[in-house]
Structures are given as structure tokens and as C-alpha cells.
Amino acid sequence: MIVKSYLDYARGEQKISPWLVLAPLGWVAKILVGLRNFAYDHGIAKSAGSPVPLVSIGNLTLGGTNKTPFVEMVALEIARRGIPTGVVSRGYKGKARAPELVNRLSEGAFAGDEPLLLQHRLKGLPVAVANDRSAGIALLRQEEGVELVVADDAFQHRKLRRDADIVLVDALCPWGNGRLFPAGLLRESPAALERAHVVVITKADQIAPPRLAELKREISAIVGPDRVFCSRLVVDRWERWEGRWNPQEDLSVEGLPVVAFSAIGNPASFRSSLEQQRVRIVAEYRFRDHHRFSVKDLREMVAEAVRQNAEALVCSEKDIYNLPEGWISPMPLYVPRVKTEILGEAERFWETLGEVIRPRVAVASNGYGEDAIGVILAKKLRQALPRLEILAFPLVGSGKAYSDAGFPVVSPRAETPSGGIVKYSLSDLVRDLRFGLVKIIIEQLKSWKRLRHRLQRVFCVGDVYLALQALWGQGGEPLLVATAKTAYIAGHWGIERFVLRHRVERVWARDEETARDLARSGVQVRFAGNPIMDLAGSEETGAFEWPGKGRDRILLLPGSRNRAYEDFPLLLETAERVRAKRDCRFLAVLAPTIDRRELVFRSPGWSFPDSGRECLTNGRLEVFLYDGDLAAAARSADLVIGLGGTANQLCAGLGIPVLSVEEKGKLVQKRILQDAERLVARDPAALAEAALEILETPQLRHHMSQTGIVRLGTPGALDEVVRFSVTDCGLGLREKVYEHFCGSAEEGGVS
């Protein structure tokens, strides 16, 4: 009676109850669960990725949503499509502590009723039971070679990230009394459904259509109408349990007087399903979910059956695995063998699941130079994994480099006066704050939130701030291509090392010394080449024919930020002074972010020639314009006069002497490039004088060239990132599974 009284209250069937004293505990539970979810959503609590695609079947309430038959349906359908599939279960009330395959457990080592049921129903598919689901998945992968795992009851298991979260909602009792356990049935509030990829309303055939429509609208408001489905249980056949299964092909249950008993989450639903089969229930016994029956329990029910002239006992299939070992009923014990059906939209359900498990990543970057590296990384990922969906998330600018390369930009536009560089100047920071920097950051975090639980990995190209923003927005540990800091310039701060050690999955340093420095702090770090030099591409694709006439070829780099419009006249005047004393030709390489017409407008006395040639002229000198591959043009240059950051470093790494101006950012960069770069006053006369000195002194040019090659190193970092992603992160396996899943559906349809 106590259990029934509590369940009536928890399910909302009895509004006024002594159990209301538990309400404060429900409020405490709601706060604690909210804090826990907040910690996982923002990377405060650590969640690990799965080595194989992981599909979770879970719910919001304590049992009663038909998870086990749904797990069976999903696992069998995925396996039917040619994907080696396994199931992992926590094994509630099981005795196994170490991860183990259910079929290997001894009879005394009870695995739990649900794993045993699944093992029996999923003929040929391995089922692992493990308190630590990660260990269970590893066991299935290593010993059974599975390529996809279905996790039973894992929606709240947030230590492990999933590829797909399917959440089941009981149509008869969706939220109980609306309170969290122990004051109700809820594990967490319905708002948590926003984490779900698919929501299925189970037992949808057991409620009135108006109530079902209302429930669908309620759930659709959280997850979207295209992600909500309905299902029902149907009796596939009846069997008799005699210590083993005995099919009853000719059994007619209509009108059969029985005593029904169950120890499941929603016994009312079980009774309803029996009534739909027109079974005559003369007595019913309800036990708490997962109850282990005693011989005394069963004797009492058999005696009641005799008193009521019942002809049989009836229980659910899960209850069979909670019977005393070796017990045989003295009267027939019948069990309805059920299966799950998606109501009306089975094909769309599997199509939706296929779209959810499609591998999906984001490439994030926080600077124009970093955007260029991010584009190369995205292209390499696309080449290795053609079915991978790649989203771009630049923190600075409009992301034009990504969109031009065909990658959708999902971050808000972020054009600021400083162009994203505020660490060298307090006045730049103040200007950006006045411009709306805080609002931009808030919008970026909102964009991250919209992607939460939708990405397998985030690749960050830039600094620790970018990694932190991705971590806060996604919750999962990002991968970081660390281009911003080097041991040559102070290295990383202590707090940055802490973040990299504890909340970044893998770091690729830009030089060997930085990698060694971070490794000493316990960071998972690799050095496989300088990512900046990956911008150089291959020499075979770098052929470039310089326009114009002149012995010396000088490259002009105005930079990629808005400041380039102010700086370009300085470069033009410098070019004119150099040309007056030496036979040179000039090529200005423009970043994708630079508008040519704006550049001309901000350069008095210069215009496009009537001939339509790709150059600017003032009547005395032509400066050709180029917006293609910088490395291709730089390889045959004799000198670079550059005001950029990453572009200057790339040219230095290619062995081209670099000339720039003295300012805080360039002085910092000078510590990396050392003698590969010459800095002079921000004056066209000083720049021209230095340029002439470099061009006229072969020994100086050679020294600057060799220094740049040594300091910047070789390419290869991004290839290593791609290799790690395909193998260690499991993106290669995920693409294979996705192709099989979709391909098999197209060939054979949905069973």
C-alpha cells in the first residue's frame, strides 16, 4: 500500500497526499540537476567522446517508457543495414561490477533484467553490462569489433558524449506530477529535452487523439516538430514460460481469466495492453520496477489464482528475468512478446536518425590569418572525409574566406575597429567596447549554444581564448591548433596551461620548443610542423607569373583588417620612392576581406587604368593587384614590404626577406622572426631606404632568407590534425557508418 500510495502521488494521480512532504527535496533535486547540467553544458564538468558512434535511448522519468523494446528495434534495424552493432547497459541491480559481455557471465552473476532480456532478444548482437559505459563500449569495440553502440538508458549519463540522443516520453504519464525524484518521477525537467535529437512519444495508441496532439505541441516547442515521433507496442506472439520459452501458436487469450503481475515502470500500461488483447484480469499484483520476486510472492499469486479460478498467470517479458532461479510455475505462465512500431512515419524516423548520426564538426578561428589556416584545415578534412559536414565559426570578421571556399558560416558577423587585435593597445580595446564588443561576444555564445549537442568535434585555430569560448559554448573538449603563442615569446601563462591540460583534447604547437614547454605542464601536445607554413601549399601548385616589367619583384601586403585602407597609401608611396632608384615591379596581394574600390577611394591620386588591367596607377607607376594564393606569388618575390601578421610570417618561412614598421604588434612578431624581418619607422622614406639596402646587399638578403626558413620551420601540422581526427577521434569510422546507414536504407528500404 505504501508503494502504491507513493506511485499514485508521483504520477500525479493523487494531488493531495502525505507524500507532499517530499516537495522540498524535489526543489533541491531540481537545483542540483540544473547545476550539474550547467557544468556539463559549459565544460566545467568533463565529458569524453566515444571511439565509435553512440546512439542513446533514454527518458526523463524513472522507467515506464518501453526503453528495452525500443533499444531492440533500433539495434536490430541498424544491424540489418550492415553495421556491426552492440548494446551497452548499466545493468540496474545487476551483480557484475567490471565490464563484461552478458553471454559470458555465470548464472550466479546476475546482469540485471534488462540486459538479460536484450541478450535473449538480440540474437547474434553482443550486449555488454558495465557501470562505466565507456569501459563497456571499449570492450564491445575491442572484443566484438562493433562499429556502433546503442546505449540503454544513457540520456543522463553526461560523462560520455553521444552522436544521437533518442528520448522516450510515456504518453500515459509524460512528466508524472511534474516534480523531480524523490518528490516525483522526473530525473530532470522537461526543458532538458533540448539536448535530445529525437523524441518519441511511446504508447501513443493508448491516449485520446486530442491529448496526444497537445503533448506533441508541448514537446515540439522544445525540440521542433520535425524531431517528434510516436510509437506503440504490439504483441508479436504469446509464449509460455516453463523454465524455457515454449511458443503458443494456437493460444487464444481472449476472455482467458488470468492473474497479472508486473515489476515495471508503468504497470498501468501493461494492464492496458492486456485489456487490448481482451484478456480477463481477475486479479493484479504490482511491484516496484526491477523487483526481484521471492518464492513467497509467487506462492501468494498462485494461491490467489486458484481462489479466483484463473487459468493462468501473466507477466511482462522483463519479469521473467527477475523470477527465482529454477522456479517453475505450477500453472501456465503466459508472456506477451512485444515489439515497438513507429506510428505512421517509420521512414522519416530512420531518415532523421541518419541525418543526426552524420559526422558534423566546426572549424573555429579568431583572426584573418587564422581564417586562412582554418580554410586549409577544412579543405583537408573535406578531402579525407567527403561526407563530413563542416561548419565555419570565425570570431573576427564576416568569414568571407570560409564562405568563398564553400563552408557555411554559422557565427555572427564580427567587424570591429581593431580587426580583432586588442592585446597590444588599450585604446583599441576601448574602441571595440564602444563599438559593441560585449554584444558581439554574447551573440557568439548564443550561436555556440544553438550548435550544442550537434557537433562531434570543434577544431580551433588560434589561441586559448578561442578554445575557452568553444568549450563554454559546446561543453566538449575542443582540439586546438595553437598559432598565437610560442615559447620564443614568453610562452603560455599558467592559467592557459591549466586550461590546455584539463579541458583541451589535443594541442598542436607551432614549434618544437613550445611543444616541449607545454608537455612539461602535462598538456596533450604534438608538434608536426608549423600550421602557418601549411598555407604555403605545395611547390608544384605554386607556379605564378609576375605581371609588369622590372628586375626586382616586390610584394606589398597591406594586411587583412580595416586598418589596411589607412596603411595602403604608405605602401604606395614607399613603392614610388623605391622605383625611382631601382628597376622594380610591384604586386599588392589583397586579402579576401579587402574591398578594392574602397582601397582606391582611400588612396588619393591613384586609380584603375582605362585599359582595365588589374592594377592601380598614378601616371608614373603601376602597382598590380592580386587576390589569389599568397604563397604562389611570394615564392618568386625578392622582398616583402608587409603590414600583415600571418602573411608576413608565411613569407619569411618561404625565405623571402620581410620589411615592416615598428609598432607593438610587429615588435612582438620580431621576436619570432628575428633577423628574417627588418623593422623601421612608419615613414615611406625610411621604408624605401631599408628596402633598397636589402635589395642591394646579397649577403643581407641571404641571411634574412635563411633565418626565416629556420625560424618558421616546415609544414605538416594540419595533415597530422586530419590523421588524428580520422583515426583517434573516430571521424573516419563515423563516416563509414553513416554511408552504410544511408546506403542500405536506399537499397533495401526500412523493415
Return the SS3 of 325: coil
Q: Does 746 reside within a domain?
A: no
Q: Does 350 reside within a domain?
A: no
* 452 and 595 belong to one structural domain: no
pLDDT per position as a tens digit, 324-340: 988 999 999 999 988 99
* 189 and 312 belong to one structural domain: no
pLDDT band for position 542 (cuts 50, 70, 90): low
CATH number of the domain within which 375 lies: 3.40.50.11720
Average pLDDT, the chain: 90
Q: Does 394 reside within a domain?
A: yes
pLDDT per position as a tens digit, 574-619: 999 999 999 999 999 988 778 888 888 888 989 888 766 788 999 8
> Percent of the chain beyond pLDDT 70?
94
* 544 and 490 belong to one structural domain: no
H/E stretch holding 220 = helix 209-223
Q: Helix 717-727 to helix 368-384 angle, to the nearest 10 degrees?
A: 50
Mean pLDDT of 37-65: 93
562 or 87, higher pLDDT: 87
* 226 and 108 belong to one structural domain: yes
- Judged against a pLDDT cut of 50, whether residue 400 lies above it is answered with yes
* 495 and 572 belong to one structural domain: no
Q: How far apart are CA 627 and CA 629, in angstroms?
A: 7
Whether the link from the prior residue into 182 is cis, omega within 30° of 0, is yes
* 97 and 162 belong to one structural domain: yes
CA-nearest of 350, 203, 354, 187 to 271 is 203
Q: How far apart are CA 545 and CA 525, in angstroms?
A: 40
* 218 and 272 belong to one structural domain: no
Judge contact between 657 and 690, C-beta under 8 A: no
Mean pLDDT of 267-279: 87
Look at 103-117, 392-406, 545-559 and tell me which has the smallest mean pLDDT: 103-117
- Judged against a pLDDT cut of 60, whether residue 750 lies above it is answered with no
pLDDT per position as a tens digit, 73-104: 999 999 999 999 999 998 655 555 678 888 87
* 243 and 226 belong to one structural domain: no
The three grid cell numbers given for residue 731, joined into one nine-digit string: 571521424
Mean pLDDT of 257-274: 88
Q: Which residues contact 230 (CB under 8 A, 6 or more apart)?
A: 171, 200, 201, 202, 204, 212, 216, 342, 343, 344, 345
CATH number of the domain within which 621 lies: 3.40.50.2000
Q: Does 745 reside within a domain?
A: no
Q: Does 621 reside within a domain?
A: yes
Residues constituting the chain: 751
The strand pair at 228-241 and 245-247 is best described as antiparallel
Q: Does 641 reside within a domain?
A: yes
- Judged against a pLDDT cut of 70, whether residue 176 lies above it is answered with yes
User: What's the predicted TM-score (pTM) here?
Assistant: 0.87
pLDDT per position as a tens digit, 422-433: 565 666 677 777
Amino acid 523: pLDDT = 97
Q: How far apart are CA 691 and CA 556, in angstroms?
A: 12
* 392 and 479 belong to one structural domain: yes
pLDDT per position as a tens digit, 640-665: 999 888 899 999 999 999 999 998 77
* 585 and 551 belong to one structural domain: yes
Domain that holds residue 672: 539-712
Q: How far apart are CA 351 and CA 373, in angstroms?
A: 34
pLDDT per position as a tens digit, 210-240: 999 999 999 999 999 999 999 999 988 899 9
* 103 and 14 belong to one structural domain: yes
Q: 233, 262, 293: which is the final residue of a domain?
A: 233
Q: How far apart are CA 592 and CA 173, in angstroms?
A: 57
Q: How far apart are CA 350 and CA 742, in angstroms?
A: 9
Domains identified in the chain, total number: 4
CATH number of the domain within which 262 lies: 3.40.50
What values do phi and psi take at 65, rounded to 5?
Answer: -115, 10
* 208 and 327 belong to one structural domain: no
Q: Does 604 reside within a domain?
A: yes
- Judged against a pLDDT cut of 50, whether residue 163 lies above it is answered with yes
How far is CA 245 from each of CA 66, 333, 334, rounded to the nearest angstrom? Answer: 21, 10, 10
Q: Does 601 reside within a domain?
A: yes
Amino acid 591: pLDDT = 82
> Is residue 23 packed enough to be buried (19+ CB in 10 Å), middle (13-18) or exposed (0-12)?
middle
Q: Please give the distance of CA 604 from its chain centroid, rounded to a whole number.
A: 49
> Is residue 197 packed enough to be buried (19+ CB in 10 Å), middle (13-18) or exposed (0-12)?
buried
